[in-house]
Structure 1
Amino acid sequence: MCHTYGRCARSVSIPAPVYYADLVATRARCHIKRKLGVHESDGLSETGSVISSLSSLMSVGRPRRRREFEAGDLNANQSNSDAALQECVSVTDKFKSRMYFI
């Protein structure tokens, strides 16, 4: 793997794709927090509200009452929550060909 990192003129100790993956994950976390209405300046005191907001986002499309689920129901609920999270971190066509997270 290549150890040449876009933010540094020298080689780095771990492969550059690892750094890039970390940057993408951090950027996705920022997008999700922004979608939930939590900002970085709110600090660690808002951790509980972030967790509750994230759990409410994950429950999008889930039924409110308890019942026995069939395998198809569980797959549908999982795909709904995945779609909600994907909507938070989707990148516009303008930026898809760029590494804007660098």
Structure 2
Amino acid sequence: MFLIVKIAVSAVVIGIITEIARRSPETGGIVAALPLVSLLSLFWLSVQGESLKHLSQFAAGVLWGLPATAALILIVAVCLKSSLPLAVSFVFGLCGWGGCLFLQKAIFG
């Protein structure tokens, strides 16, 4: 039952953000860039009784993923601005995301 509540709340948040973006793309982008998924995840993990150490490790993982996520969004934005189809833009963005994570791992271990 708790899984259903988590999915429903998360879906509502995504739905609200999508509606904001439909009315105002810039505002929707700003709201989408808020760390809502990270904060929701931390909240759900906390409610489920995870330790502060576990929450801290999760938050550090989120920080580790930020540069790759920024690269993905940048690549998708540039591809879309260049009139590439959304699916192609996603593929390029995901490749950039994976490449960025690979480089981070190679550089920082």
**TM-score scaled to structure 2, two decimals?**
0.28
Which of structures 1 and 2 has the bigger CA Rg? 1
More helix by share: 2
**TM-score scaled to structure 1, two decimals?**
0.30
Which has the bigger relative contact order, CA under 8 A and spacing at least 6? 1
